[in-house]
Structure 1
């Protein structure tokens, strides 16, 4: 019976292995995201899970044993003796999330943020707090906000822009 199992790759061998696995007509999921690199010559598409591929295969099959010995493979991710199995629902959730990221959902909000603008933190450890947008940072949609604390104090915090929502003016 086929299961989604996790294959660990050697550093930067995901693309090579993805095509090797697909050439063997084995279903493989390799989530990649578009990024805005600091260095303009750097890759603009990167693995969402660097060093890992999801393979839909029977872990006891000959094909699974063969894949283990491909150049660039570190091995199957295991819990004890059994390969780590990933539920179909999680694979679908990852697909939806990666598609949303690649379609720019949340990125347009980041571009509209200006220094001094009030924002709400909607996810993460500071969810529910209000902040003031301070600056866009280098890299992939990172920002710095000034977290509003007691007695009008503000603390600078760096976070992913997807955790923010522009506060509606009342």
Structure 2
């Protein structure tokens, strides 16, 4: 009987792992989101994995062995519970599939400040400092420029620590 499992892949080798697993008849899923980034001064959309270095796989261990999946190029290992690969609930996978690139997710991304916008940090270790928003750093963090001892320093802070001026 087929079950879902979670694999940890080698750095930046998710796509290689998916291609090689697909050749073995293993169904793969790694959720991706569209992210807006500024490269060379221009805004561009790119597609990035929601969970970098992780791939969900769906297979029957009696047909394809754990060893052959684990030994696939690009794969580091299974996420385990003790010595056995941890099974992932089907509902979780289907919910991820249904919500991938949802309107709500895009709305949350659009709420981030614009690059160059001046902000005041409301919480955290840099509380009270004025900062200039640079770019998003993942789902819940942002890069900011703050002025420490007369020199601009780029730091990563939680998005919840931001307060627009």
Please indicate the TM-score interval, normalised by the length of the shorter structure: 0.5 to 0.7
What is aligned with 2:88?
A: 86
CA distance in 2, matches of 1:92, 1:66: 25
Q: 1:71 to 1:143 in 2, by over 3 A?
A: closer
Question: 8 Å contact 1:4–1:88 — kept in the other structure?
Answer: yes
Deviation digits for residues 86-106 of structure 1, max 9, x if unmatched? 101111232234322797232
TM-score (normalizing by structure 2): 0.62
Q: CA RMSD in A?
A: 4.2
CA distance in 1, matches of 2:39, 2:67: 39
> Paired residue for 1:52, among 51, 54, 58?
54
> Paired residue for 1:98, among 79, 97, 100?
100
In the alignment, structure 2 segments of 5+ residues that lack a partner are: 120-130, 145-155
CA distance in 1, matches of 2:95, 2:105: 15
Question: 8 Å contact 2:21–2:72 — kept in the other structure?
Answer: no
What is aligned with 1:10?
A: 10
Q: How does 1:1-170 map to 2 (within 5 A)?
A: 1-37=1-37, 39-40=39-40, 44-100=46-102, 104-110=106-112, 136-140=133-137, 142=142, 158-160=157-159
Deviation digits for residues 91-125 of structure 1, max 9, x if unmatched? 1232234322797232344469x868xxxxxxxxx
**Structure with greater strand percent:** 2
Q: 1:82 to 1:44 in 2, by over 3 A?
A: same
User: What SS does the aligned partner of 2:107 have?
Assistant: coil
CA distance in 2, matches of 1:102, 1:17: 30
What is aligned with 2:123?
A: none
TM-score (normalizing by structure 1): 0.61
User: What SS does the aligned partner of 1:62 have?
Assistant: coil
How many residue pairs were aligned? 147
CA distance in 1, matches of 2:105, 2:64: 38
Question: 8 Å contact 2:137–2:143 — kept in the other structure?
Answer: no
User: What SS does the aligned partner of 2:100 have?
Assistant: helix
Deviation digits for residues 72-91 of structure 1, max 9, x if unmatched? 21111111121111101111
